[in-house]
């Protein structure tokens, strides 16, 4: 993209930071995006909604927003709704898709209704669950069991529980972060992720990445702050599996009404080789360790070009894609 085209985007805000538990990661993502856009001649500026009122976007003449916020108050439809009211096109999914996708339980309900496989689960709600109910969860889902807040990302508050005696502490830890606690069947096997770019029938799946974390523990630390996790792209899956996962991920993305971009996390059962979808991220990470840029690079798209492509796809729910 030429400098002239980049200038035609107008004044661009890269929304980063915010108030969620993922603020630190968002600041890293936003810094990368800001540098990339500026390197391509875009008039891009950092904008932290935790420090400035969103109404400043209109007052200061911003014409579109690149959302590099993660988690609540950024990826959950709230900022998207505010930008709809301000009439400023933004990257990523709209209000409804964002608000459903941030909620892992609501996402599962939609996917299950559409015949998309996802691990079995049990929902516990803060203040309503009894100790007896907590201890019964492994009877229903088996051990180990995954316990996580329903609306956090970056593996924050996630526990892998190996025994009954550890269930209560795991549920309490998740409940400290969210009113809804998702207890999920553990799927043993390959962990993969698949990004998607585009909207509707034009959406396409990028190469699948296989994640090999130390002792299978792909937690917050191993996601962002160590180099011990291996990311394999090409993924090296058996013939036909990558294409099948890409097709399934595209369906999962479309049924939620996602647009712009996203990334779906998948477990492949070691015994049956059947995939189960865990969750979808509608504002994925763009840090040095992040997976969408890695997959895009394997498809011949540089980090800088990816950022410009995403900015060009900025839209409003009611108007379709905005022109540059």
Q: Is 279 a catalytic residue?
A: yes
Q: Is 269 a catalytic residue?
A: no
Q: At what angle do helices 303-312 and 291-298 cross, to 10 degrees?
A: 100
Query: Which is catalytic among the residues 279, 283, 290, 295?
Result: 279
Query: Which is catalytic among the residues 98, 154, 159, 295?
Result: 154
Query: Which is catalytic among the residues 48, 184, 242, 265?
Result: 265
Q: Which residues pair with 145 in a beta bridge?
A: 161, 185
Output the CA torsion sign for 277, 207, 99, 257. Answer: negative
Query: Which is catalytic among the residues 121, 129, 218, 224?
Result: 224
Query: Which is catalytic among the residues 129, 263, 290, 317?
Result: 263
Q: Is 154 a catalytic residue?
A: yes
Token pair listed for 35:
């540098």
> Percentage helix, strand, coil, to 5, in the chain?
35, 20, 40
Q: Is 22 a catalytic residue?
A: yes
Q: Rg of the chain's alpha carbons, rounded to an integer?
A: 19
Q: Is 48 a catalytic residue?
A: no
Helices of type H across 149-206? 167-175
Beta-carbon contacts of 21 under 8 Å, excluding residues fewer than 6 positions away, are: 71, 72, 152, 154, 156, 157, 177
Question: Cα(195)–Cα(315) distance, rounded to whole angstroms?
Answer: 19
CA angle at residue 34 from 30 to 39, to 5 degrees? Answer: 150
CA atoms within 13 A on the CB side of 41: 9
- Is residue 37 within 8 Å of 11, Cβ to Cβ? no
CA angle at residue 304 from 316 to 99, to 5 degrees? Answer: 35
Query: Which is catalytic among the residues 32, 92, 198, 285?
Result: 285
Q: Is 75 a catalytic residue?
A: no
Q: Is 217 a catalytic residue?
A: no
Query: Which is catalytic among the residues 20, 281, 290, 295?
Result: 281
Query: Which is catalytic among the residues 17, 22, 178, 222?
Result: 22
Q: Is 265 a catalytic residue?
A: yes
Question: Cα(64)–Cα(43) distance, rounded to whole angstroms?
Answer: 11
Q: Which of 239-254 are b and which e, b meaning 16 or more Cβ less than 10 Å from the residue's Cβ?
A: eebbeebbebbbebbb
Classified as helix, coil or strand, 122 is strand
Residues designated catalytic? 22, 154, 224, 263, 265, 279, 281, 285
């Amino acid at each position: 993209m030429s400098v002239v085209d980049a200038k035609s985007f107008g004044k661009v805000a890269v929304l980063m930071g915010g108030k969620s538990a993922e603020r630190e990661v968002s600041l890293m993502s936003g810094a990368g995006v800001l540098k990339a856009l500026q390197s391509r001649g875009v008039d891009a500026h950092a904008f932290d909604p935790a420090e400035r009122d969103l109404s400043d976007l209109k007052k200061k003449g911003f014409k579109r927003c690149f959302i590099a916020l993660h988690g609540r108050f950024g990826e959950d439809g709230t900022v998207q709704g505010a930008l709809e009211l301000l009439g400023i096109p933004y990257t990523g999914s709209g209000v409804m898709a964002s608000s459903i996708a941030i909620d892992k339980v609501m996402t599962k309900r939609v996917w299950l209704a559409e015949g998309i496989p996802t691990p079995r689960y049990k929902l516990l709600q803060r203040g309503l669950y009894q100790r007896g109910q907590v201890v019964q969860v492994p009877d229903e889902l088996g051990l180990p069991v995954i316990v996580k807040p329903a609306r956090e990302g970056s593996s924050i508050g996630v526990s892998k529980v190996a025994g009954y005696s550890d269930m209560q502490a795991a549920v309490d830890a998740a409940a400290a972060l969210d009113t809804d606690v998702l207890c999920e069947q553990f799927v043993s096997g390959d962990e993969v992720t698949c990004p998607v770019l585009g909207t509707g029938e034009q959406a396409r799946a990028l190469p699948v990445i296989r994640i090999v974390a130390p002792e299978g523990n792909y937690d917050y630390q191993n996601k962002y702050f160590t180099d011990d996790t291996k990311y394999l792209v090409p993924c090296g899956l058996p013939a036909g599996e990558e294409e099948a996962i890409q097709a399934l991920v595209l369906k999962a993305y479309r049924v939620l009404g996602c647009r712009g971009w996203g990334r779906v996390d998948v477990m492949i059962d070691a015994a049956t080789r059947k995939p189960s979808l865990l969750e979808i991220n509608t504002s994925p990470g763009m840090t040095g360790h992040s997976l969408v840029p890695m997959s895009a690079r394997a498809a011949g798209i540089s980090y800088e070009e990816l950022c410009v492509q995403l900015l060009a796809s900025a839209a409003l729910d009611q108007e379709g894609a905005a022109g540059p």
